[in-house]
Structure 1
């Protein structure tokens, strides 16, 4: 287990951690869950770096009382763990109609000022469940929060190393792992071995890898600057196209099948089982 990442706010900068709590819905730090918060437009529809690359510039930190967001030019805003709203409201992630608690007018003014649009911030309503696609998750009962579709994304470090070798061979710059926004990075595998893994187990936690992750233009956004470039999609399209999924893939979406409530830790040993 080489790296763990939690993204409290969908689309914003993640947090690198040495240890993370494991829940059915993914990783968490101090009871703040991965993709538990989300930015929405005035219609309640989710927005991400696809529309607003500058979301990458919003840093997230967690303390005992709140989640704090910081961005250039607008300072910080604290999102309390307990929101004042009495009832959740309908919001939308892709084709899923879910519910979230509004973080309040101060948070809305802050995010709107930074991104230059009428936006609000919401927190997932944990009294509801957003089920994963049973075509891939089966009857596992897997559900997620505001992630695109699954609780976790797993990538092998060797896969990025191989991609970077291809990029440098054509004169392009190598890319950091944060372009792909994984939760779990595993070292010691062959390149793209994760494509063929059934399970990954560490410290009593078992993840099942259920669906290749189709990559979008977020991978072309520099997560340190918000600048949108060209790579890696052109290079990935030369050897990672999946016609069945109508896109290029990199990494595997995963669900938790055992060990919810336990902790994953960087540098812990990993056991893997292949599907063949």
Structure 2
């Protein structure tokens, strides 16, 4: 008999495509976990930057600090850590592009832009999503009118420990969960059982598993060295047995209630299945 389902990991990524960190508890907001992916790096054309095109973003580690977080370079001890508050001030705005969405955002400080440009070796800007900005989950899967931060498309990403364990039995070199950058990690149950979930709750907080998460080349990037796998794993191996609708799936895109609080150790209860 499998172990009961429970929340075993909670992860925040304050800046999209930079490093993340684990927390013991987190507040649920209308856009996802509080402080998750509210900051974004954009290039000279104000288009979003991710590890897909700039794998060196993985070298920017993020750690919690009082009322904000610290960004440091994993291979540049000469760069003193950069402090970023959880929210920007509305002094300067600009329009930015994330996938097909054009959104206005608040600018970070010139000092932050200079630090990040030095760390990455290219011009860039740090921008923040205000609570006044409306960015919707993709409409065909969003009858509730759910919002999302600068995350790719959904406010939460859920992944199971059993799924990762199963994948690692198929790989020449196992990979950690950070290759998949989930917010919510659960333990117990069978590998990929979340494929069939629809309504579920964590503690007393309700969620909806909308659809499987199609994975990209980011999963092939070591999150500590920024090196890409020479054979394209784990994406190459996943593609041999986790293909659906022209996507390679791992984990679930999830929407939530817009409020609540989660704690590591909370029970996970499946309420309905697809």
**TM-score where L is the length of structure 2:** 0.92
Runs of 4+ aligned structure 1 residues displaced above 6 Å come to none
Q: Does 1:159 align with 2:163?
A: yes
Q: Does 1:21 align with 2:27?
A: yes
Aligned-residue offset at 1:84:
4.5
Q: Quick one: structure 1 residues 81 and 173, their matched pair in 2 at CA, closer, same or farther if it must change by over 3 Å?
A: closer
Where do 5+ consecutive residues of structure 2 fail to align? 1-6
Aligned-residue offset at 1:207:
1.1
* Equivalent residue for 2:16, pick from 10, 13, 26: 10
Aligned-residue offset at 1:206:
0.9
Q: Is the 8 A contact 1:3 1:186 kept in 2?
A: yes
For residues 196-207 of structure 1, the aligned pairs below 5 Å read 196-207=196-207
- Count of residues in correspondence between the two structures: 263
* Equivalent residue for 1:134, pick from 139, 146, 167: 139
Q: Does 1:100 align with 2:102?
A: no
Q: Is the 8 A contact 2:135 2:147 kept in 1?
A: yes
Once the two structures are superposed, residues 41-78 of structure 1 have per-residue CA deviations (whole angstroms, 9 ceiling, x without a partner) of 01110001111112112122233343321113222112
Q: Quick one: structure 1 residues 79 and 237, their matched pair in 2 at CA, closer, same or farther if it must change by over 3 Å?
A: same
Aligned-residue offset at 1:105:
1.3
> Structure 1 stretch 63-72 or stretch 208-217: which is displaced more?
63-72
**TM-score where L is the length of structure 1:** 0.91
Output the aligned Cα RMSD. 1.4
Higher strand share: 1
Q: Separation in 1 of the partners of 2:14 and 2:133?
A: 18
Q: Does 1:124 align with 2:122?
A: no
3-state SS in 2 of match to 1:75: coil
For residues 34-45 of structure 1, the aligned pairs below 5 Å read 34-45=36-47
Aligned-residue offset at 1:82:
5.2
